[in-house]
Amino acid sequence: MCEWMPKGEIGSKINEIAEMLKTTSEGNCTITLAGAHAKGLADEYSDIDIYIYYENPKSYETNKQIIETFADGRRATVTPDHVSHDVGGFYIFNYKGTLVEVTTRLYENALKRINECLDGQFEVKPAGWTINGYYTFTYASEISYVKPLWDPSDFIENTKKIIYPYPQKLKKKILEIFGGRVNSFSSNREYINAIRRRDLFMANYYVDSILLNMVQVIYALNDAYFTGDKQIAKKLAALTYCPNKLLENLEFFLSSHNDCDRLEQQRNLLCGIIAELKIKCETLVWVEE
């Protein structure tokens, strides 16, 4: 067993799920562990996240039957295909009491998305699970950390060679888009008015939006892929560069306040960090790819 593989009951469940998923493919496939278990951040509440990349998946009807037969209570959500949704497709079910979320993709489509990202061409699309939207360069970010459970063609290892070194075109685009969003949110008149009228709900929305976009900028400045880590303070501190004011005040930013002075203090601190990031971006020396 690999060193990174979870031990005990959860490790056994993951292996059993992987063996089942192999039967959903007619040809070559790659199965990877993702989420908190792949990052070593899992706790008792963590579900099991898995990605499967297909060359030729079996039919929707066949795979629906395979998944439902395997799932607790024979109940599962199985999407009809693997390309209609921006993320791919899904198999969602419970197995031996644990929630399992399998993201399904085709090799061809995944590589297309990744190559677009490397060329600085990605999209940020509305998504129900995040106020920041779903950004399609996540396809590359995921490859950077997933752990292969079954990969006879070395798809993950070979694709990692594509996404590293960190592509400068992607970096430029991230700084442009997410840096622009940081500036827009921080200077928005509605944010300023929310502070004045102590509109906690609206003020928190702007603070959260600024932080979510700021993290993308900081990771790009470090030539690092952001993978949505739960322990964000620890991860930011481990980066080569992160504004000290952000690290020192992260808990303050993530706390709710209904006092105008503290809300204004939040904004002033954020604006100071944004100014530092702007200077950092302006002093970058770009290397032609």
Dihedral Cα 142, 146, 149, 155, nearest 10 deg: 60
Average pLDDT over residues 134-156: 95
For residue range 121-132, list pLDDT tens digits in order.
998 888 777 778
d(CA 260, CA 192): 10
Residue 53's pLDDT band, with cuts at 50, 70 and 90, is: very high
* DSSP assignment string, 257-285: ---HHHHHHHHHHHHHHHHHHHHHHHT--
Asked if the domains 8-163 and 168-282 are classified in one and the same CATH topology, the answer is: no
Report the mean per-residue pLDDT for the chain: 93
d(CA 138, CA 144): 10
Q: In what order do the strands lie in the sheet with 29-34?
A: 76-78, 89-95, 98-106, 48-54, 29-34, 147-150
Above 70 in pLDDT, residue 278? Answer: yes
Q: What backbone phi and psi angles, to 5 degrees, belong to 42? A: -70, 150
Residue 289's pLDDT band, with cuts at 50, 70 and 90, is: low
52 bridge partner residues: 31, 104
Residue 286: predicted pLDDT:
84
- CATH code, residues 168-282: 1.20.120
Residue 258: predicted pLDDT:
78
Above 90 in pLDDT, residue 55? Answer: yes
Residue 288: predicted pLDDT:
65
Q: Which two tokens stand for residue 185?
A: 């949110």
For residue range 228-243, list pLDDT tens digits in order.
877 899 999 999 999 9
Above 60 in pLDDT, residue 33? Answer: yes
Share of the chain above pLDDT 70, in %: 99
Residue 164's pLDDT band, with cuts at 50, 70 and 90, is: very high
Above 70 in pLDDT, residue 140? Answer: yes
For residue range 166-211, list pLDDT tens digits in order.
999 999 999 999 999 999 999 999 999 999 998 989 999 999 999 9
At the topology level, CATH places domain 8-163 in Beta Polymerase; domain 2 (3.30.460)
Above 90 in pLDDT, residue 6? Answer: no
Q: Where in the chain are the domains?
A: 8-163, 168-282
Select the more confidently predicted residue: 244 or 198: 244
CB atoms within 10 A of CB 127: 13
d(CA 32, CA 30): 7
Residue 255: predicted pLDDT:
87
d(CA 11, CA 37): 9
Residue 1: predicted pLDDT:
53
* DSSP assignment string, 74-127: G-EEE-S-SSSSSS-EEEEEEETTEEEEEEEEEHHHHHHHHHHHHTT---EEEE
Q: What backbone phi and psi angles, to 5 degrees, belong to 254? A: -90, 0
Which residues lie closer than 8 Å to 283 by C-beta, 6 or more apart?
none
